[in-house]
Structure 1
Amino acid sequence: MTFSCGTAEEIANALAASGLILRGGFGFGDDEVAPVGPSGALARSVLLVGQAGAAPWPHFQRWLGRQAKDIANPLDSWSREVIGGVAKEFGARAVSPSDRPYLPFQQWAMRAEGLKPSPLGILMHPRYGLWHAYRGALLFEDEISVPEAHEAIHLCDTCVEKPCLKSCPVGAYSVDGFAHQACLAHVRGTNGAPCRAGGCLDRNACPYGAEYRYPSDVQAFHMAAFAGVRILPDRTET
């Protein structure tokens, strides 16, 4: 069975109700080791689900306001709930980047959208810059007709100044990789207030996709989750 464009549009519309979008997809080859689908048979196709900018944030905040205050990994839980509901509606299996054993989400994303990693490790999108994310995927046991992905323009190749490697006070990102412990110590320390309040300075220095940049409260939420500090947004319904 091949899903029609109308069905793909219905899936996209169901996700849009929570601010999420389809991020491309592909079919698994006969020689690939594919994950299993909803019935336990091998999946034939996958659709990536994610976001561009902070569109899901109001939906997530309303959901968060109804949860216990000590809920663990709230954004992951919300994403699982939303994508799981869509999966049930359309006969798919929902999977998450945090599922174990880990699934190759970054490889899937590069294959589905033709993207490449930035110096920060985040995939660079020609429209969204670094301000996008993948929240899950839908696995189908049928073939899905999706547009073939072509290699996207990799903006990092034409960026001469590389401000994303020059803005961190402790040089956490470099051509040698990510200095995780140095970043963590800085964010948690006395001088890390700008990072805690407004997000990664290196990421914010990137000039691309600025119109999709996450608001400061969204960036503070993600930084709190990364550093294990209490900087959560107001739990009010908006």
Structure 2
Amino acid sequence: MAIQAITQQVLETALAAHGLRLRGCWQPQDGDTLPALPDGSQPGVVWMVGVVGSAFWPYFKASAFYSDGLPDPLDRWSRAIGEDLAARLGGVALFPFDGPPYHPFQRWADRAEATQASRMMLRIHPAHGLWHAYRFALALPGSVASANNGSITPVQSASAAPCVTNLCASCSGQPCLQACPVQAYTGEAFVLQACAGHLHSGQGEACMQGGCLARRACPVGAGQRYTPEHAAFHMQAFASRH
């Protein structure tokens, strides 16, 4: 596919078939550690790809990865989609779960759209709250301008204005810090052992079945909270590793 054809619309159409969303783009700079493209050239633009709410969940659940009984079904589903799309567009797919060393997806996210640190140690978005995630990035030929077909304001990009409000500092009462039954979140750190111990006890059923109570207490983007089935999937995966 010609470089000029790799536009935002092309990517949005391809990703929509899987319930995935473009999450902004950024232009590589000196110091970014990125692999060369298949033709040996350096990437000119990196698109972030992810999910918002549970829109992708029916697509993933209908895939063979969900029910094949093998480990890491969501990561394998993401890899299959990302690598196929990268191959079609002459690019390289990058994943947050490849490592160590791991790609700095949180820093990349801040370059692509208006995310910021939260008390939950997750990136919070002014519209999506904590109910979003990045599944992969696409390093492609071209540039930020050509990727957006020369438009001034892409869906979100490194040129987009950041969110000037500190979402957590301005949140009255910060209910996320009050909702965790074992105070696993201090506002500055996550106490893994406290969380994992709670989930493996008889008292952790509410978190396991409906998702983290502290995360659910966040009022930002509350309309995009994960469905119970989707949230439980992530909690079960987390508990199985800790």
Q: 1:47 — aligned with what? A: 47
**C-alpha spacing 1:186/1:144, structure 2 compared with 1 (3 Å):** same
Question: How far does the alpha carbon of each residue in 1:55-77 deviate from its partner, in whole angstroms, 9 at most, with x for none?
Answer: 110010011477522x1100011
Q: 2:194 — aligned with what? A: 182
Alignment of 1:186-197 (within 5 A): 186-197=198-209
Per-residue deviation, 1:205: 0.4
Structure 2 CA distance, aligned partners of 1:133 and 1:213?
A: 12
The reply to whether residue 217 of structure 1 matches residue 217 of structure 2 is no
Calculate percent identity across the aligned residue pairs. 41
Structure 2 CA distance, aligned partners of 1:170 and 1:118?
A: 19
Residue 66 of structure 2 contacts residue 73 of structure 2 at CA under 8 Å; is this kept in 1?
Answer: no
SS of residue matched to 1:192: helix
Residue 166 of structure 1 contacts residue 202 of structure 1 at CA under 8 Å; is this kept in 2?
Answer: yes
Q: 2:151 — aligned with what? A: none
**C-alpha spacing 1:92/1:171, structure 2 compared with 1 (3 Å):** same
Q: 2:210 — aligned with what? A: 198
Q: Give the CA RMSD over aligned residues.
A: 1.9
Residue 34 of structure 1 contacts residue 44 of structure 1 at CA under 8 Å; is this kept in 2?
Answer: no
Structure 1 CA distance, aligned partners of 2:169 and 2:161?
A: 17
Structure 1 CA distance, aligned partners of 2:122 and 2:17?
A: 26
Query: Stretches of 4+ moved more than 3 A in 1?
Result: 1-4, 64-67
Question: How far does the alpha carbon of each residue in 1:167-201 deviate from its partner, in whole angstroms, 9 at most, with x for none?
Answer: 01100001341000110010111111111111100
**C-alpha spacing 1:102/1:96, structure 2 compared with 1 (3 Å):** same
Residue 23 of structure 1 contacts residue 47 of structure 1 at CA under 8 Å; is this kept in 2?
Answer: yes
Question: How far does the alpha carbon of each residue in 1:107-141 deviate from its partner, in whole angstroms, 9 at most, with x for none?
Answer: 00011103111100111111111101100000023
Q: 1:188 corresponds to which letter in structure 2?
A: H
Q: 2:123 — aligned with what? A: 123
Structure 2 CA distance, aligned partners of 1:224 and 1:110?
A: 28
Length-normalised TM-score, structure 2: 0.87
Residue 44 of structure 2 contacts residue 141 of structure 2 at CA under 8 Å; is this kept in 1?
Answer: yes
**Aligned residues between the structures:** 226
Q: 2:161 — aligned with what? A: 150
Stretch of structure 1 that moved more, 51-60 or 141-150: 141-150
